[in-house]
Amino acid sequence: MQIQQLKQAVEALLFVAETPLSEQQLVDHFDSENVTKKQLKEVLRELQSDYQERGVQLISVASGYRFQTRAELGGIISRLWQEKPPRYSQALLETLALIAYRQPITRGDIEEIRGVSVSSNIMKTLQERGWIKVVGHREVPGRPQLYATTNEFLDYFSLNDLSELPAIPEPPERGSQAGQTAQIKLEITAETATNTE
């Protein structure tokens, strides 16, 4: 198979696939044509380059390669559908963030960090979306389930792996913040006293 034919075939496969396709899946698909992984990688690089400035991009996510629209065009594209995208509660997003950053984690750990109980509906919704799964049990009395994120989670947020999650900024130290606040109050008081003299 010539490279141009391979490029067209890979492009067509990725357009019609319902889920991302990995390099291995693509190599397996072209098994009878004796396509090598090296050839396939070159074709994927060329396709990514071809689509770099277009409304659709070829991106790599945890499960493989897929075409998707550019993020900055989301507002324009969303007008095509009447239905609104699902809205998630702050509690659900906090729970998902804790699982993503602290996995594997138990429901009890999440409740301890958040300071409130986690609704069963939240855990059910996250599992139904395919964003989290049970990966084991903690060896303590009651053997609580341990939760972790899935490849579907990574794919949904266009990530290859968890290392691409944004860094969490360090919270300011309470002591230094209190000291800064006291210093600011002191400066304001001194300035006010000077202005009134």
pLDDT digits (tens, 9 = 90+) for 62-79: 999 999 998 888 888 877
Q: What is the mean pLDDT of the chain?
A: 84
Average pLDDT over residues 167-192: 53
Fold of the domain spanning 90-164:
Arc Repressor Mutant, subunit A (1.10.10)
Fold of the domain spanning 3-74:
Arc Repressor Mutant, subunit A (1.10.10)
Whether residue 59 contacts residue 43, with contact meaning beta carbons closer than 8 Å, is answered with no
The predicted-structure confidence for 123-156, as pLDDT tens digits, reads as follows: 999 999 999 999 999 998 989 999 999 999 999 8
Where in the chain is CATH 1.10.10.10?
3-74, 90-164
Average pLDDT over residues 47-74: 91
For the whole model, what pTM was predicted?
Answer: 0.65
- Return the DSSP state at 157: T
The C-alpha atoms of residue 153 and residue 126 are separated, in whole angstroms, by 9
Q: Return the higher-pLDDT residue of 176 and 94.
A: 94
Indicate the SS3 state at residue 65. Answer: strand
